Structure 1
């Protein structure tokens, strides 16, 4: 019997242990339970902080309403037309460009230097103008200084409707900003069958115009001394044509046609550099006294690495080029 009692005692302990485990296994209250949050919030220190915060916000709104709006004070405002452009616009940019920007973007006559959105408003207004290639910076000092990179006219595209100015990237510039005498100072691009895709300030949308404008830019300083009158752009026969596929010609005052080759930014292997081609033109002009002597007009091909080839043009071709001038 003593053995039996010994066996039963451990069993009781096991039951007791199980019961204790069941008791200790009860879930403790969660940190985010309503009861816990209420106990945390209704502590004296927490209530004091909340009271101070709410009171501060209330009085801040009241004080803010009492502070005068300094942005409307005269000493913090400037006339919009007195914006300072850095550097000063080149001579070919209209002198009233600031007035044009104000009118186009409907800017107010006066602006406040305390306006936090003023810099973005001014930058956006100038960037939309067709003469502006890029707004570099806008700074507020005692006025507003706007640093701008302006587009530069490179050539005039000749169409039946008249002459259309473009920059060296083939972006259309405002035709109304050029007089007849202004237009004559720039290289002329002929042979273009397309019309601009959009208004002034947007790309013409024709690669042949883009390449011709690039060529006009590099030839600009040599234009008059070489007696060149126009750049003949090649026709675009397919939509997938690239700049490397387009061959340009220069038309001289006497009707000769100089086969220049591809645009200055062509990546085609074997194409002579721009300075090499200009060197050939200058040497030919010195040696013969012009591109049309002695019995021109000629077709002159300067694309070869060593020699310059020349052949007489037919009379009808000569008449055609002379009429184009």
Structure 2
């Protein structure tokens, strides 16, 4: 009958393994042992992250070939041409990239420097291949016709970039015969006291119920007499006179001129009353038709 094997008969390696295991078990029950196990677990977690994070990063950082650019809160006046133009500008910095933070920052910088925006609040990734732009477009006040063609300005007289267009149903007054040509670069102020006077008038009447009847503001008389002339869509000429705050002696003031046009509009539905000649509203006491 075979004899039963005892611990004393086991080989030396067995005693070393069981001894080490017993020591670990015993140590884990002590405060120092628990700390050792905790530190070991943290170290193992860090090693796992170091191994897996680069793999995940390589998956996330795949270049996006087709990027969809969405503008948040597009104003009513903005035509499709300007939206498409700005979307294409953003795409030059986003298409074929990983849409990482530096890529989004590059698009943000380009849009802000384009001259079309008062502010670009945020350019953020909102989908696997979608980027949303939260920005405030500079609103055009009027278009100006000079010897180079048509250009737009904002309420401060800054030249707006080429390609700025408005929706077809938005009325835009045209300023004609400015003394000076447009500035060399967008966002620069268009020079001329005549243009500043027209901007001052337009800023006061832009929301009048009859503004869509004002086709042009003609500056051709300004150099000689300081007068601005409103041209209606019926071809009538309404002599407005001086810029607001610069009225001559005995000339009607701003509020009086607006009240007169309001009254003409209420009476006939037209500020020119279908008169094809000239209407002078500069006299403080009477409206003169010629």
**Superposition TM-score, scaled by structure 2 size:** 0.59
Q: 1:183 to 1:201 in 2, by over 3 A?
A: farther
Match of 2:219 in 1: 233
Give me the whole-angstrom Cα distance separating, in 1, the residues matched to 2:207 and 2:72.
Answer: 26
CA distance in 2, matches of 1:89, 1:184: 11
Secondary structure of the residue aligned to 2:79 is coil
**Residue 80 (structure 1) shift:** 7.2
Deviates more, 1:197-206 or 1:122-131: 197-206
Offset, 1:166: 2.3
Q: From 240, 263, 281, give the equivalent of 2:261.
A: 281
Q: State the distance in 1 between where 2:212 and 2:108 align.
A: 42
The SS at the match of 1:73 is helix
Q: Which structure 1 residue ranges, 5 or more long, are not aligned?
A: 1-59, 238-245, 314-325
In structure 2, stretches of 5+ residues that fail to align are 1-45
Higher Cα Rg, which structure: 1
Match runs of 1:103-114 below 5 Å: 106-114=92-100
**Which residue pairs with 1:21 in the alignment?**
none
- The equivalent of 1:128 in structure 2 is 113
Tell me: CA distance 1:200–1:226, structure 2 relative to 1, closer, same or farther (3 Å). closer
Residue 130 of structure 1 contacts residue 202 of structure 1 at CA under 8 Å; is this kept in 2?
no
SS in 2 for 1:129: coil
Shift of 1:118: 3.9
> How far does the alpha carbon of each residue in 1:292-325 deviate from its partner, in whole angstroms, 9 at most, with x for none?
67795232217x4xx4x33455xxxxxxxxxxxx
Q: What is the number of equivalent residue pairs in this alignment?
A: 233
Aligned-residue Cα RMSD (Å) equals 4.4
Q: Is the 8 A contact 2:205 2:211 kept in 1?
A: no
For residues 129-144 of structure 1, the aligned pairs below 5 Å read 129-142=114-127, 143-144=130-131
Per the alignment, residue 196 of structure 1 pairs with 182
CA offsets 1:4-32 (integer angstroms, 9 cap, x no match): xxxxxxxxxxxxxxxxxxxxxxxxxxxxx
Distance 2:96 2:154 in 1: 33
Give 1:200 shift: 3.9
2:31 is matched with none
> Partners in 1 of 2:221 and 2:118 — Cα distance?
28
- 2:85 equivalent in structure 1: 97
Q: Given the superposition, is the C-alpha separation of residues 175 and 137 from structure 1 closer, same or farther in structure 2, using an over 3 Å criterion?
A: closer
Aligned partners of 1:156 and 1:187 also within 8 Å:
yes
d(CA) in 2 for partners of 1:69, 1:214: 62
Point out which structure has higher relative CO (alpha carbons under 8 A, 6+ apart).
2
Distance 1:212 1:299, change over 3 A: same
Q: 1:255 aligns with which of 208, 222, 236?
A: 236
3-state SS of paired residue (2:107): helix
Cα deviation 1:154-187 (Å, max 9, x = unaligned): 22212233222223222333455559x9599421
TM-score under structure 1 length normalisation:
0.54
What displacement does 1:148 show?
0.8
Match of 2:157 in 1: 170
